[in-house]
């Protein structure tokens, strides 16, 4: 049987847990540096700050403040 190759998620910010998007701190086309705050997700009454893992440019934003997200939902993509 052929093995399934998992999708490349290295250029995406995924939601680490089910939660509510509190804020998106960047815009499409914005350049970000490693460690910069990208979004805040609230889960179980705790706010989780999601930061950039590496330098890059935001190419698309798929969520907005108030959205309810599942685990591994794509929040934004990078170039």
Secondary structure of 12-73 in the HEC alphabet?
A: EEECCCCEEEEEECCCCCCEECCCCEEEEEEECCEEEEEECCCCEEEEEECCCCCCEECCCC
Tokens standing for 34? 């490693």
Helix (H) or strand (E) holding 75: strand 74-78
**Residue boundaries of the structural domains of the chain:** 17-78
Q: Which pLDDT score is estimated for 4?
A: 85
Q: Which pLDDT score is estimated for 48?
A: 97
Separation CA 4–CA 78 (nearest Å): 24
Tokens standing for 27? 């815009």
Per-residue confidence in pLDDT tens, the chain, 79 aa: 778 877 888 899 999 999 999 999 999 999 999 999 999 999 999 999 999 999 999 999 999 999 999 999 999 999 9
Q: Which pLDDT score is estimated for 30?
A: 98
| CATH code for the part of the protein at 17-78 | 2.40.50.100
Q: Which pLDDT score is estimated for 5?
A: 79
């Amino acid at each position: 049987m052929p093995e399934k190759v998992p999708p490349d998620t290295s250029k995406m910010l995924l939601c680490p847990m089910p939660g509510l998007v509190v804020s998106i701190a960047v815009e499409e086309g914005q350049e970000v540096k490693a460690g910069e705050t990208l979004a805040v997700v609230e889960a179980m009454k705790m706010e989780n700050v999601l930061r950039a893992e590496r330098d890059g440019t935001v190419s698309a934003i798929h969520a907005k403040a108030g959205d309810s997200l599942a685990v591994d939902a794509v929040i934004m993509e990078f170039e």
